[in-house]
Structure 1
Amino acid sequence: MSGSTSEAIALFRSQLQSRRFDDRTLGTLESVLVTRNVQSLIETRAALRELLRSEASSVMGGVSVMTVDEKLRIVQFFVGAFALVGDIESCLALKYEALILRESKYLQFDGLQVTYEEWLTFANDSIDNGFFPIAIQGIEKALQCIQINKLKGPEFAMSSVEEHIVDYIKNLKNITISLIEKNSVRVQSSEYMKRKDIQKQASISRSRKANQIASSVFRSAIEKRNMQKLQRSQGLQENW
């Protein structure tokens, strides 16, 4: 990592610690990531991901005393920051938090609440990146959005298009659940194979050790026998 890159990271860290969660700080982050060296970019991104996770954890621990607007501004900043450094898991987790915050703020205002389309987009992004449990939460939120409108009165009854959308979302949920189950089976299978490999290696090690002991005992017995033959031979020579 070059000296200029280290200085840029130090500046970015300083801005985070000064609680400057704005576009200027994101601009500093973008400038840090401008490099022609692939290996340097990999190392820089890894360092920045670690820094961002640490700072986000520290900051989010104190959001309970902030207003919803303040919380939302900070969460959206970290969503953008994690997206820049390629930390998709953290980005999606905070996107979920941002949508929940918006929902809590705008739920009472018609037309301002989070739409089912936004939740569905979040769910599809999560599925595409393999984060299926997070996707389920987004899918359920999308269904809730449609259900809320349905409960407002007969004038909000679902159209045939909306009913088709509900069927699509429910089908997407079933597919995601099956992906979770398949992933769980795959993980369990992988862990089983690892355990079998460890057991096999341990068995080989024990076998080698046993063979070494047997070989040592055999060699010792041969040496003892040869020594006895030598002693008998020497005794015969003396008697002769």
Structure 2
Amino acid sequence: MPNPTSLTEQISLFCSRIQDRSFDDVTVRILESILIPKDVRSLIRVRSALKQFMRDESLLIFREITQESVEIKLLCTDFLISEFAIIGDVESCLALRYEALVMREHRTATHPGLQVTCGEWLNFAEDSLENEFHSIANQACEKAIMCSKANHVATPDIDDFSHDVQAIKKIKRLKDAAILMISSRSVQGQAAAYLKGKEVEQGTQHLVTCSEAQSSGSSRFKSGIRKHNLRKLHEYRRLRQLS
């Protein structure tokens, strides 16, 4: 395989390998080489283009593997997660991590080895909260609590119970923090809507006031014209009588 030298060649090669579905370490290394620190403007532009490309391709990939086994789906998902992480697309990365965890959860009955642990949900909740995806963090906390309770029912060991209690306390703290942030944003949204409404109301009042002022001024102007014309008329009649 030729060694690309220019940035354009590297990007072209990476895109070709993704479109050929070459999900391997070579593709990962090419992406890493593309994103070696450059000037800020160039890096932002390249990241943005790669992010959109990978989002479009990921949709095509998941359509293509609809009928594949869960193992193949998870392998593809893991690869895409790693690529989005390198690009810096946190939103896509977290979304795919969540999908992978849910996929494993749904297949646990037939594939026990895919069982999602409480720790995995907890780790995902922490990452979601840290990146300000509060609703997803809240959902992950609920999943973690359910997972912890299910594990305790399956293996009611004293030591495990003590560990689960500590884990649930941590999960609930994360959940409370997520709910607080969700509520805070809701209040901020309502406040912003209220202030926007007040701005519109004040603007309307200002327009009415200006209109009234203009109308009042116009009336005074017209009244002045009428008085002026009346004076001119009286003056004209007086002169006619003198003559």
Short-chain TM bin: 0.7 to 0.9
Residue 172 of structure 2 corresponds to residue 170 of structure 1: yes
Task: Give per-residue Cα distances to partners, 1:41-95, cap 9 Å, x unaligned.
Answer: 2233233333333333343345422321222122222222222232222211111
Match of residue 124 from structure 1: 126
**Identity over aligned pairs, percent:** 35
Q: Report 1:59-78 matches (<5 A).
A: 59-78=61-80
Give, in whole Å, the separation in 2 of the partners of 1:200 and 1:50.
Answer: 42
Pair 212,168 (structure 1): closer, same or farther in 2 beyond 3 Å: same
Match of residue 18 from structure 1: 20
- Higher Cα Rg, which structure: 2
Pair 219,101 (structure 1): closer, same or farther in 2 beyond 3 Å: same
Give, in whole Å, the separation in 1 of the partners of 2:65 and 2:226.
Answer: 80
**Structure 2-normalised TM-score?**
0.77
- The aligned amino acid for 2:66 is S
Pair 159,59 (structure 1): closer, same or farther in 2 beyond 3 Å: same
Give, in whole Å, the separation in 1 of the partners of 2:153 and 2:204.
Answer: 63
Unaligned runs of 5+ in 1: none
Which of the residues 94, 99, 102 maps onto 1:100? Answer: 102
Q: CA RMSD in A?
A: 3.2
Match of residue 39 from structure 1: 41
How many residues of Structure 1 are paired with residues of Structure 2 in the alignment?
237
Task: Give per-residue Cα distances to partners, 1:176-219, cap 9 Å, x unaligned.
Answer: 22332222222222222222223323332343344334434443
Unaligned runs of 5+ in 2: 1-5
Q: Report 1:156-167 matches (<5 A).
A: 158-167=160-169
- The aligned amino acid for 1:119 is W
